[in-house]
């Protein structure tokens, strides 16, 4: 018993073709039936329908023979007869008997069906692209979250590169971060990379351009290279490179869509790097602040907290640094002979470098006082020590004095410091003039001392230039005259009250301007 023939093996009619369309058997089955109907009605052995692509015609359906090639060039016919359609081509093989040129409603139906099939295929491809981009964006979101939470710069660079290589299915990669006019290798994966690249290197422009780099030595041995800036150009943090995209056939070039993906990821990486960098700066700033506070505490301990009690005399001292730590130093001490030593030193500069020199002068002073009497020789030895242990561009002005309470006699040495002031009980003023250069300028400098006698009611004032050179908003200096007037008008007050008066007067004079220099004051008064 013979099996029944199928619709593709027997003669077809328009009713068969339309029935297939109504049953929704698919565009291709519909087109195959149309080709069969065309061949039967026009005396053809076989036919194939091609759609027009970007570079060639691609076969969509065939009937009667598989001899038709899968694709043909714009000017090819592969040995068959041909008929041009609006967006494709119809190839056919005539029968040995008489045949007629395809035309009429069947050709129109073929052209319309071809168009519908192509549109459906395009819609399917676009749907795939949209879905792929959705998955891609989701992956970008996930990797963005992963790197955004990392604050360790070293670990972050490695993670960025690993994620980029995985995202692009690349075999190799490298992350370069900008250091001035150089791109310095931060991390590499899958092979060696150049340790640094000048920004002007033409290869950088090549791999960052719209084309995809091939001939280069940025990643030696890589066949296909692609790079994007990390962050917005021209202030980008660096470049991110990937090389040799994996595929079923080995490695190959990257698509332009890969560049877009890598650029989106690089923008996320730039944000993460900036966050990590700011976090590192914040930690460093916090560490420095702790160290400065510790230095300030150490320096405060260098200053006397109590003053010697001497019958018939009153002593006081005060200092306020311009920053957390300062370059002014003072001390009031009792010697083994029962005398009172007073010193005020002013280091050039401010901040930590000046504070370190304060420590030097403090320790050296304490050691030398135990070995040498207060006077020119002690200052000479102190200068030699300072010259040998400090930078040549640093120096210290110093005024050193020693009081004999039994007589009221004061011996002093002024090493380049502001002249000390003696406010007599009758209102007259004397000075403790300089007797040598500041400490640290020349290692073998010599010094001369001076003497004065304090009568009852006399006040000795030693100060740093941060007080007298304090400026108002109009650039006027507080000056020595104002200091003398304040001291003259405070003869009936305690020295702590005098210090408070000077502090308030200088602060009011500055009218809120930042303190420009360290301010220090040492007072010694013989009771009336």
Please tell me the distance from the alpha carbon of residue 195 to that of residue 175, in angstroms, as a whole number.
11
Q: 14-123 maps to which CATH number?
A: 3.30.450
Please give the mean pLDDT across all residues of the chain. Answer: 85
Helix (H) or strand (E) holding 82: strand 81-85
Nearest residue to 62 via CA among 28, 94, 95, 86: 28
Cβ contact 280:153 at 8 Å: yes
List pLDDT tens digits, range 475-514.
999 999 999 999 999 888 999 999 999 999 999 999 999 9
Give the pLDDT of residue 109. 83
Of 2-11, 274-283, 409-418, the least confident: 2-11
Average confidence (pLDDT) over 455-459: 95
- Which range, 14-28, 56-70, 276-290, has the best average confidence (pLDDT)? 56-70
Q: What is residue 464's three-state secondary structure?
A: coil
- Report whether pLDDT(233) > 50: yes
pLDDT of the residue at 395: 92
Exposed / middle / buried, residue 70 (Cβ in 10 Å: 0-12, 13-18, 19+): exposed
Q: Poorest-confidence range of 16-20, 46-50, 453-457? A: 16-20
pLDDT confidence bin for 133, thresholds 50/70/90: low
- Classify domain 303-526 at the CATH topology level: Phosphatase 2c; domain 1 (3.60.40)
- This prediction has a pTM of 0.57
Q: For the residues of 128-177, what is the DSSP string, one character each?
A: HHHHHHHHHHHHHHHHHHHHHT---HHHHHHHHHHHHHHHTTEEEEEEEE
Is the pLDDT score of 6 beyond 50?
Answer: no
Helices 105-148 and 153-167, axial angle in degrees (round to 10)? 170
Q: Which of 100-104, 143-147, 272-276, 383-387 has the highest mean pLDDT?
A: 383-387
Task: Indicate if the pLDDT at residue 285 is higher than 90.
Answer: no
DSSP for 308-350 reads: ---TTEEEEEEEE-SSSS-SEEEEEEE-TTS-EEEEEEEESS-
Give every CB contact of residue 239 below 8 A, 6+ residues apart in sequence. 175, 176, 183, 204, 207, 208, 227, 228, 229, 230
| Residue 345, C-beta contacts closer than 8 angstroms, at least 6 positions apart | 328, 329, 330, 358, 361, 396, 397, 398, 417, 439
Kindly report which listed range (79-93, 396-410, 436-450) carries the lowest average pLDDT score: 79-93
Number of CB atoms found within 10 A of residue 38's CB: 23
More confident residue, 479 or 393: 479
149-278 is classed CATH 3.20.20.140: no
Query: Half-sphere exposure of 358 toward its Cβ, with a 13 Å CA cutoff?
Result: 29
Lowest-confidence pick of 143-147, 362-366, 475-479: 143-147
Q: How confident is the model at residue 129 (pLDDT cuts 50, 70, 90)?
A: low
Q: So what's the pLDDT on residue 5?
A: 39
For residue 18 the two structure tokens come to 């339309």
The pLDDT of residue 317: 95
Range of weakest confidence among 65-69, 138-142, 253-257, 354-358: 138-142
What pLDDT sits at residue 2? Answer: 38
**CA–CA–CA angle 46, 49, 55 (5° rounding):** 135
Q: Tokens standing for 468? A: 């007298």
CATH 3.30.450.40 domain locations along the chain: 149-278
**Cβ partners under 8 Å of residue 286, min gap 6:** none
Distance CA 443, CA 248 (A): 79
Of 410, 427, 432, 405, whose CA–CA distance to 490 is shortest?
Answer: 427
Segment among 9-13, 162-166, 455-459 with least mean pLDDT: 9-13
For residue 342, which of 351, 354, 350, 334 has the smallest C-alpha distance?
A: 334
Matching residue, tokens 């009172």: 340
pLDDT tens digits for range 326-348 = 889 999 988 888 899 999 999 98
- Residue 296: per-residue pLDDT: 78
Specify the higher pLDDT residue, 118 or 520: 520
Who wins on pLDDT, 5 or 323? 323
Alpha-carbon distance of 92 to 79, in angstroms, equals 10
Structure letter (DSSP) for residue 190? S
Q: Which residue, 239, 141, 248, is CA-closest to 199?
A: 239
Kindly state the tokens that stand for 306: 């109590």
158-188 confidence digits (pLDDT tens): 888 888 888 888 999 999 998 888 899 998 9
Q: What pLDDT score does 107 carry?
A: 85
> Of residues 130 and 422, which shows the higher confidence score?
422
Domain with CATH 3.60.40.10 in the chain: 303-526
Exposure of 57 in the CB half-sphere (CA atoms within 13 A): 26
261 φ, ψ (degrees, to nearest 5): -60, -45
pLDDT digits (tens, 9 = 90+) for 238-265: 889 999 988 777 788 888 888 888 888 8
Beta carbons within 8 Å of 28's beta carbon, 6+ residues apart? 60, 61, 117
Confidence check: pLDDT of 27 > 70 = yes
CB 423 within 8 A of CB 461: yes
Least confident of 55-69, 97-111, 211-225, 395-409: 211-225
pLDDT (mean) for 96-118 = 81
- Strand pairing partners for 432? 420
Residue 428: the pLDDT is 94
Q: How many Å separate Cα 335 from the centre of its chain?
A: 56
What is the rounded CA–CA span in Å between residue 80 and residue 90? 10
């Amino acid at each position: 018993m013979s099996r029944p023939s199928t619709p593709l093996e027997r003669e077809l009619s328009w009713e068969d073709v339309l029935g297939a369309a109504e049953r929704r058997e698919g565009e291709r089955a519909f087109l195959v039936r149309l080709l069969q109907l065309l061949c039967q009605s026009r005396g053809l052995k076989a036919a194939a329908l091609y759609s027009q692509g970007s570079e060639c015609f691609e076969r969509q359906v065939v009937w009667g023979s598989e001899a038709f090639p899968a694709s043909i060039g714009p000017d090819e016919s592969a040995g068959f007869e041909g008929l041009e359609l609006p967006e494709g081509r119809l190839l056919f093989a005539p029968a040995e008997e008489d045949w007629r040129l395809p035309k009429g409603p069947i050709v129109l139906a073929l052209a319309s069906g071809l168009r519908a099939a192509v549109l459906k295929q395009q819609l399917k491809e676009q749907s795939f692209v949209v879905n792929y981009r959705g998955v891609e964006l989701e992956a970008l979101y996930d990797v963005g979250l992963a790197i955004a939470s990392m604050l360790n710069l070293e670990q972050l660079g490695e993670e960025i590169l690993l994620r980029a290589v995985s995202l692009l299915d690349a075999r190799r990669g490298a992350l370069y971060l900008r250091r001035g006019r150089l791109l310095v290798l931060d991390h590499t994966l899958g092979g060696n990379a150049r340790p640094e690249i000048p920004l002007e290197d033409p290869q950088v422009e090549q791999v960052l351009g719209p084309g995809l780099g091939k001939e280069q030595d940025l990643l030696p041995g890589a066949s296909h290279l692609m790079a994007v800036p990390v962050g917005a150009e021209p202030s980008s943090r660096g470049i991110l490179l990937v090389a040799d995209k994996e595929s079923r056939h080995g490695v190959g070039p990257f698509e332009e869509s890969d560049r877009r993906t890598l650029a989106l990821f690089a923008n996320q990486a730039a944000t993460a790097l900036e966050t990590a960098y700011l976090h590192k700066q914040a930690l460093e700033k916090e560490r420095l602040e702790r160290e400065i506070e510790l230095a300030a505490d150490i320096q405060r301990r260098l200053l006397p907290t109590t003053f010697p009690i001497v019958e018939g005399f009153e002593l006081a001292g005060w200092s306020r640094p311009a920053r957390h730590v300062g370059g002014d130093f003072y001390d009031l001490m009792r010697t083994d002979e029962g005398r009172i030593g007073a010193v005020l030193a002013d280091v050039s500069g401010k901040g930590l470098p000046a504070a370190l020199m304060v420590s030097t002068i403090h320790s050296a002073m304490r050691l030398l006082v135990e070995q040498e009497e207060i006077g020119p020789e002690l200052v000479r030895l102190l200068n030699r020590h300072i010259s040998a242990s400090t930078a040549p561009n640093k120096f210290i002005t110093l005024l050193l004095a020693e009081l004999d309470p039994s007589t009221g006699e004061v011996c002093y040495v002024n090493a380049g410091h502001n002249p000390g002031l003696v406010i007599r009980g009758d209102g007259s003023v004397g000075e403790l003039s300089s007797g040598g250069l500041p400490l640290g300028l020349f290692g073998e400098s010599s010094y001369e001392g001076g003497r004065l006698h304090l009568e009852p009611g006399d006040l000795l004032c030693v100060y740093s230039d941060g007080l007298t050179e304090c400026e108002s908003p109009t650039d006027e200096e507080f000056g020595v005259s104002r200091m003398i007037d304040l001291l003259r008008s405070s003869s009936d007050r305690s020295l702590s009250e005098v210090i408070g008066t000077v502090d308030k007067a200088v602060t009011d004079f500055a009218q809120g301007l930042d303190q420009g220099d360290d301010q220090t004051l040492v007072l010694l008064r013989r009771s009336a």
